[in-house]
Each structure stands twice: as C-alpha cells, then as structure tokens.
C-alpha cells in the first residue's frame, strides 16, 4: 500500500525547518521524504492525507517501563523508593491477574499512542498477555519477563521467561522483540544471574536490568559485596551480553568507565528518578564517555505519565540546570535521545527512529496550528521545548495507522477506560491499611 502525506512540515537532518514537504510510505517502509510539492499524480497512491499544519516526527522509543503499572497510577505517591515498593506496590502487584496485566498494558498503550510513542520496553509478568495486547495494538515493543530470586527459587519464572521468548520473539510481523529481564542486582543472587546468563547465551538475546537507581541500593552493595552494583555485575560477567541498564543514577567515574568499556546501554528515566527522590543520573558524563543512552518513562506509578514529550523536555532541562550549563544538551540531541538513540539503546533495527528512505514507517504527526508553535523560528525548538503530547494527531507504526485525527484505530478507548476504572477498586484496601497504620 502506498500512502502520500502532502503539505506537511518536517525537520531536515540539521534540525532546520522544512515548512512544506511530502512523505511517501510504501507498505511498512518510508519511500520518500522531500521538501516541496509531490511531483507524482495522486492517482498513484492508495491514500492521500493533507498534512497542512502538521509537523512530522519519528515515533518515540520509550526505553524503560512497566506498562501494566498504569493500573497503579496515583495509587502510591510521595514516598521513597523502598517504602513505595514494599508497602504498597508489591502487595498491589500480588493482586494483579493475567487479565489485569492485559488491561493495564492496553491502558498504557492508549496513552503512549496518543503522545507519539511507537515502540516501548516492558519488564513485568504474565508477558504473554502483554505481548497479545501489543500485537493487537499495532505497536512495537521489547518485552522481558521480570525475574527475581534472592534465595532459592526463580527457576519457574526463568522457565516461563524462556517459554515466552520461544513463543513470542519476532511475533506480530517482527514487532515484538524479547529479552531476559532480571529485576536488579539487589533482587537477584549471583547464582541466579548466572542461570539468566546461560539462557541469554543459549537464546542469543539481550538483558535488561535496573541498576544503581537509589543511593541506598549502592550503599547496600558496598556493604554486602564491597563494590558498586555496576562493578558487581561486570565481575559476574553480565556485561559480556548486550545489556540495557535502567537508571544508573548513583554511579562513579569508575562505573562510567565500566559501562563504556563493556558497551552497556543505559535507559535514563529523568521523571521517575525525580519523583521517587532517587536523584539525577549523570547523563552528560555518560554521553561524553560515548555511552549509548535512551530515555524511558518507567512505570506510570512512578512518573506518573507515559508522555515522551514530557520526558524529552525534562531530560534537556534538568541536565542544563544540574550542570549549570545551557549548552549541556541541545534540542537536536534531546530529540535524538527519544527517537534514533532510543532504538539503538534497545538493540533494534538501526534504521528505526529515522525518517529516511528505507527505514520503518513509524512516525507521528503533531498539530502545529496552536500558539505554542508560533512564530516558526525553529520547529525543532518547538518540538522539544514547547510541544505537548496532546498535540499529536496521527501515529503510524510499520505503515499502519494506530491513531488518525486523534481517534484510536486499533484500541477501543472507551471500553479500556471503563474497565480500568472498575478495576482500580480492588487495590483500595491496601492503601487504606497502609494509611491507617501510618496515620497519614
């Protein structure tokens, strides 16, 4: 199927304005992107879309999250990481059924699609239901079954992980990718991580893991092992595999050297790290060291949004402020982190996140008719510093429409929202008990 979007605006390779151009897609790929008027006859196309007042951007790539935690959005706020996890989130997660996971993933995808995300990462459980929801939605995703084992046990979930990978890797016409997802160094023993590495080796797949998210995690690692979580993982051999390390907030210069030396990729989650009071990851130092970094939202219960426009703006602003340097990260770098660099961080198709001929037709159209897009000195600047996820009107993945004129094509929004609303009630007793015990 060949589709033409004419009269649209886009950014050239240097981030400059192209105020009138056209995009041609052919099946799942981009065929042509050019300034000016399309020279081809419209009869040549199966569909012609008017792109007037629309800015074309690549679809966003969210490099870290737990989609079904959308059901726990607003359930546990304003608490530090460990209390947030052990007093409220983990007891609530015990109540999550496979159907809840499916619903929570759909709820998350509604928000992600509406705000221009086309690819996301997930680490959770009942991943077969997550994958089913992804395949039906038309999105791309990198999915790993979360693995936890400090004492004995964990073998069952590792076997589940392996079965999930065999059943779903490259499902949905290649839109679903899988990996191994040990939760964190502090929730997985050395013996268990070795078992995980054996499976990663056998299946030749990457690993995703939370690392050095909070200060206390790093202090505990020094007490228990005498080294940082990153050094501990490096010594265990985990970094001999392709790894996406989420967070890396509290890391030393030695840790940065290890990440660089072992080509570990990092998922930076500025919003979640701020909201949980975890801190600010040294993004600029990591980029300066040549480390591959992408941006993630983390779950909707610690962010509480899944809007990559917000995350992109936040990543640019906090690191300028934190480094006392307005040039620390520019708009083009920030946009790259949520698109092309995100795809690279996830070890995906090197062409994903770009809008060049031959690359996957994963893109979004942003309504630039509103005041925050005037005057049009720089659409790149507006995209990074002025945009809002609510401005997205259309989203395509692999050439297929997921959102058209702000209407979902693949998901039944009304049905999902009413189910999510009903579902929320079952978590309330946990919150009530916590609040009565803590007299909040």
- Residue of closest CB approach to Zn ion: 298
Q: How far is the CB of 69 from Zn ion (least distance, A)?
A: 9
> How far is residue 387's CA from residue 103's CA, in Å, rounded to a whole number?
29
Residue 262 phi, psi dihedral angles, 5° rounding: -95, 5
Q: 72 burial class (0-12, 13-18, 19+ CB within 10 angstroms)?
A: buried
Pick 113 or 267: Cβ nearer Zn ion: 267
What is the nearest approach in angstroms of Zn ion to the Cβ of residue 183? 8
Q: Which is nearer to Zn ion, 132 or 298 (CB)?
A: 298
From the CB of 43, what's the least distance to Zn ion, in Å? 50
Residue nearer to Zn ion on the CB measure, 298 or 307: 298
Shortest spacing between CB 229 and Zn ion, in angstroms: 14
Cβ-count burial 97-124 (b if 16+ within 10 Å, e if not): eeebbbbbbbbbbbbbbbbbbbbbbbbb
Output 33 or 61, the one with its CB closest to Zn ion.
Answer: 61
By the 8 A CB rule, do 343 and 30 touch? no
Quick one: 48 or 314, whose CB is closer to Zn ion? 314
Closest contact distance (angstroms) between CB of 64 and Zn ion is 6
Q: What are the Cα distances from residue 169, in Å, to 162, 197, 290, 320, 380?
A: 10, 18, 30, 39, 35
The candidate with the shortest Cα–Cα distance to 139, out of 317, 360, 440, is 360
Triad 332, 338, 341: Cα angle to 5°: 80
Yes or no: say if 109 and 411 are a contact pair by the CB < 8 Å rule.
yes
User: Which phi-psi region, left, alpha or beta, contains residue 292 (left: φ > 0; alpha: ψ -120 to 50)?
Assistant: beta
Q: How far is the CB of 267 from Zn ion (least distance, A)?
A: 8
Match 């840790």 to its residue by tokens. Answer: 255
Nearer to Zn ion, 134 or 395 (CB): 134
Q: Which residues bind Zn ion (CB under 5 A)?
A: 298
């Amino acid at each position: 199927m060949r589709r033409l979007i004419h009269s649209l605006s886009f950014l050239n390779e240097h981030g400059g304005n192209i105020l009138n151009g056209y995009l041609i897609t052919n099946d799942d790929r981009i065929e042509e992107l050019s300034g000016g008027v399309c020279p081809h006859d419209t009869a040549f196309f199966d569909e012609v879309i008017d792109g007037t007042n629309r800015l074309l951007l690549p679809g966003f790539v969210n490099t870290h999250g737990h989609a079904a935690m959308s059901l726990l959005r607003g359930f546990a706020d304003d608490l530090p990481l460990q209390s947030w996890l052990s007093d409220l989130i983990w007891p609530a997660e015990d109540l999550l059924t496979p159907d809840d996971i499916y619903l929570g993933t759909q709820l998350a995808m509604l928000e992600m699609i509406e705000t221009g995300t086309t690819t996301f990462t997930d680490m959770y459980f009942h991943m077969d239901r997550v994958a089913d929801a992804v395949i039906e939605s038309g999105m791309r995703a990198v999915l790993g079954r979360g693995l936890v084992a400090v004492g004995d046990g964990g073998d069952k979930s590792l076997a589940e992980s392996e079965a999930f990978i065999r059943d779903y890797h490259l499902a949905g016409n290649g839109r679903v990718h899988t990996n191994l997802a040990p939760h964190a160094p502090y929730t997985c023993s050395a013996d268990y991580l070795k078992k995980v590495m054996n499976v990663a080796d056998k299946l030749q797949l990457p690993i995703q893991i939370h690392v050095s998210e909070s200060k206390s995690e790093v202090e505990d690692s020094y007490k228990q092992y005498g080294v940082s979580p990153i050094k501990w993982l490096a010594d265990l051999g985990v970094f001999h595999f392709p790894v996406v390390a989420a967070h890396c907030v509290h890391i030393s210069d030695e840790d940065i050297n290890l990440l660089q030396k072992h080509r570990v990729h990092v998922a930076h989650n500025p919003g979640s790290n701020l909201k949980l009071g975890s801190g600010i990851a040294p993004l600029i130092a990591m980029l300066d060291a040549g480390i591959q970094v992408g941006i993630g939202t983390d779950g909707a219960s610690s962010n509480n949004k899944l809007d990559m426009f917000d995350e992109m703006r936040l990543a640019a602003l906090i690191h300028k402020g934190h480094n006392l340097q307005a040039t620390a990260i520019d708009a083009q770098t920030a946009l790259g982190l949520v698109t092309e660099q995100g795809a690279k961080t996830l070890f995906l198709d090197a062409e994903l996140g770009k809008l060049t001929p031959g690359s996957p037709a994963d893109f979004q159209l942003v309504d630039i008719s509103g005041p925050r897009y005037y005057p049009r000195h720089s659409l790149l600047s507006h995209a990074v510093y002025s945009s809002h996820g609510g401005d997205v009107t259309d989203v395509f993945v692999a050439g297929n429409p997921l959102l058209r004129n702000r209407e979902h094509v693949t998901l039944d929004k009304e049905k999902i929202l009413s189910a999510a609303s009903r579902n929320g009630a079952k978590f309330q007793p946990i919150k009530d008990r916590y609040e009565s015990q803590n007299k909040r």
